[in-house]
């Protein structure tokens, strides 16, 4: 018998959708029981639970039915949530903590680290919600290395068997306790999944199916074996600007901190003039603890320590001096995760002689402006807004200025402008002339190739009214029921696209190859 989760109150129509019963059938069966209901009728939890049990033998649970213990135990668990973009990582934590972060993320993409804390069956657990985009690989690897358990979220929309080899590689390269979470099972029924020697759970981050069982069994399965606390005292989690004030969230692994204490990074020390826990100012905090500071600008670095010598001994000195060289581009962001990832990208370029870049945190102020004027820097802002007076001075001094909301857009800008690493080569241009159903929830795009040659192995970009709506791969190409590998200009064909079913007549498609410079 399946379990379904609902809120305290739900409409009959919504309840029918959740339990996958036709609403007309639901109304008919209740009528035969002598109960008259309308599809927009609001049902409380107990009524919905009784009706579903009596009429359809379906078990209904409250969506907020987690019962967390409040007694603190000695052992702490650190769980990193990893997975591809749109796999449902943030939605899972939204369900557990009753938040709504996923709906507020720009472009529905996680671009910063968030840490959550809870007490669950006498265990204190810290969850790290990590970005999914490959541009954040260094961020992800850092948190994986300090975590007790890793939840790898895999969407049911993906080919699970093809993911298996990648998962094995992750385990072999990292000494980690990995649990595979097959997510979005509320969307469709799947056969039993068996991944050899891997712990696998089927869950739905949307309605909460299997989530409590996942957490309980995870904590019972593994012992707390990571001993990273002897290396560092803490890590910067994220940063942001709110109402004109710059906030930074930090995570203290060990030791205690007092107001006005200094903490040490790779190349500088910062004084903690204020400490906030749950928005309450504190004079002292004890580890493990998530805390915030305000109006303090930290360097784009990962770890910090109370003792300067200890930190320097264990620091990897990831960022060399020349990466802070102010020449050409002056990049500023309020997001600590984005700043680190840009530095990592800049460092990883095979040839960066065309770009000199400085990356810093905080709001763009008069000091930043004066520096850019003196050194003729090009200004790049990520998720920041300029006030009118500074924008006016930028225009008066003829300074280059550009703003981005997504780090991927900034990287694409640099790649396209400077042809970094690889060149994107357009191999064909296509227009969608018709669409045809193909199996459950799939569509074939009836297309005409009007320029170049389309190849099955090409990456494709799909545009709707000049806006990019999808980039991915082709599943298959057919010409008059015959499967082919390529289509020359002037021919029509049917294209089945991987992981994209919202194809529409009139959309334009280009196929591309990436070639080395």
Say which CATH number the domain at 276 has: 2.40.30.10
pLDDT of 313: 44
Domain boundary among 202, 221, 240: 221
Same domain, 84 and 205: yes
Higher model confidence: residue 482 or residue 134?
482
Tens digit of pLDDT for each residue in 413-423? 877 776 555 66
Same domain, 84 and 171: yes
Please provide residue 222's backbone torsions phi and psi, each rounded to the nearest 5 degrees: -120, 150
Instruction: Assess if residue 67 is contained within a domain.
Output: no
Q: Is the pLDDT of residue 1 over 50?
A: yes
Tens digit of pLDDT for each residue in 448-464? 999 999 999 888 888 88
The number of folded domains in the chain is: 5
Tens digit of pLDDT for each residue in 168-214? 666 656 666 778 888 888 876 655 555 556 678 888 888 888 888 88
Q: Is the pLDDT of residue 128 over 80?
A: yes
Range of the domain at 172: 76-221
Higher model confidence: residue 328 or residue 248?
248
Say which CATH number the domain at 99 has: 3.40.50.300
Same domain, 459 and 477: yes
Same domain, 368 and 430: no
Same domain, 460 and 395: no
pLDDT of 33: 78
pLDDT of 143: 77
Same domain, 102 and 193: yes
Cis preceding linkage at 90, omega within 30:
no
Determine the Cα–Cα distance for residues 21 and 207; give it in Å rounded to an integer. Answer: 16
Buried b (16+ CB within 10 A) or exposed e, 127-165: bbbbbbbebbebbbebbbebbbbbbbbbbbbbebeebbe
Domain boundary among 418, 436, 454: 418
Same domain, 217 and 247: no
Same domain, 214 and 90: yes
Same domain, 43 and 127: no
Same domain, 348 and 284: no
Domain boundary among 177, 194, 221: 221
Q: DSSP 3-state assignment of 472?
A: strand
Tens digit of pLDDT for each residue in 133-161? 554 466 777 777 777 788 888 888 776 66
Mean pLDDT value of segment 389-415: 85
Instruction: Assess if residue 68 is contained within a domain.
Output: no
Q: Is the pLDDT of residue 506 over 80?
A: yes
Same domain, 86 and 216: yes
Instruction: Assess if residue 271 is contained within a domain.
Output: yes
Instruction: Assess if residue 427 is contained within a domain.
Output: yes
Same domain, 50 and 146: no
Tens digit of pLDDT for each residue in 294-345? 888 877 777 888 877 655 444 333 332 332 333 478 888 888 878 877 777 7
Output helix, strand, coil percentages for the chain, rounded to the nearest 5.
Answer: 25, 35, 35
């Amino acid at each position: 018998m399946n379990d379904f989760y609902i809120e305290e109150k739900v409409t009959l129509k919504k309840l029918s959708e959740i339990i996958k019963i036709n609403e007309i059938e639901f109304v008919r069966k209740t009528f035969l029981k002598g109960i008259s209901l309308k599809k927009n009728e609001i049902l409380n939890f107990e009524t919905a639970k009784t009706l579903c049990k009596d009429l359809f033998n379906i078990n209904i649970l409250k969506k907020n039915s987690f019962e967390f213990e409040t007694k603190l135990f000695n052992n702490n668990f650190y769980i990193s949530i990893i997975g591809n973009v749109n796999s449902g990582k943030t939605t899972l934590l939204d369900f557990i903590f009753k938040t709504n972060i996923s709906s507020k993320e720009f472009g529905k993409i996680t671009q910063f680290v968030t840490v959550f804390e809870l007490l669950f069956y006498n265990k204190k657990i810290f969850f790290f919600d990590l970005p999914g985009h490959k541009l954040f690989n260094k961020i992800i690897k850092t948190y994986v290395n300090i975590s007790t358990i890793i939840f790898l979220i895999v969407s049911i929309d993906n080919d699970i068997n093809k993911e298996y080899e990648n998962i094995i590689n992750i385990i072999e390269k990292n000494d980690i306790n990995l649990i595979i979470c097959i997510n979005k099972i509320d969307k469709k029924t799947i056969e039993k999944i068996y991944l050899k020697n891997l712990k696998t759970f089927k869950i739905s981050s949307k309605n909460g199916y299997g989530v409590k069982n996942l957490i309980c069994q995870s904590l019972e399965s593994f012992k707390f074996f990571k001993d990273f606390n002897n290396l560092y005292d803490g890590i910067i989690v994220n940063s942001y600007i709110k109402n004109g004030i710059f906030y930074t969230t930090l995570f203290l692994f060990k030791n205690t901190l007092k107001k006005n204490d200094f903490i040490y990074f790779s190349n500088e020390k910062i004084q903690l003039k204020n400490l906030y826990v749950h928005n309450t100012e504190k004079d002292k905090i004890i580890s493990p603890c998530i805390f915030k500071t305000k109006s303090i600008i930290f360097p784009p670095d990962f770890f910090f320590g109370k003792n300067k010598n200890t930190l320097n001994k264990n620091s990897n000195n990831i960022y060399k001096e020349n990466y802070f060289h102010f020449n050409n581009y002056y990049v500023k962001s309020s997001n600590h995760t984005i700043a680190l990832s840009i530095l990592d990208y800049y460092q990883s370029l095979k040839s960066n002689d065309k770009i000199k870049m400085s990356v810093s945190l905080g709001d763009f102020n008069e000091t930043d402006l004066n520096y850019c004027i003196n050194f003729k820097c090009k200004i790049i802002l990520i998720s920041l807004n300029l006030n009118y007076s500074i924008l006016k001075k930028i225009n008066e001094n003829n300074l280059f200025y550009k703003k981005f909301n997504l780090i991927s857009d900034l990287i694409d800008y640099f790649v396209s402008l400077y042809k970094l690493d690889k060149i994107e080569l357009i191999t064909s241009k296509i227009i969608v002339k018709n669409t045809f159903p193909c199996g459950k929830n799939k569509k074939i795009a009836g297309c005409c190739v009007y320029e170049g040659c389309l190849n099955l192995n090409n990456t494709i970009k799909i545009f709707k009214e000049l806006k990019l709506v999808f980039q991915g791969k082709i599943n298959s190409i057919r010409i008059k029921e015959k499967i082919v590998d390529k289509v020359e200009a002037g021919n029509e064909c049917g294209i089945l696209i991987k992981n994209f079913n919202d194809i529409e007549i009139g959309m334009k498609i280009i196929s591309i190859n990436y070639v080395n410079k």
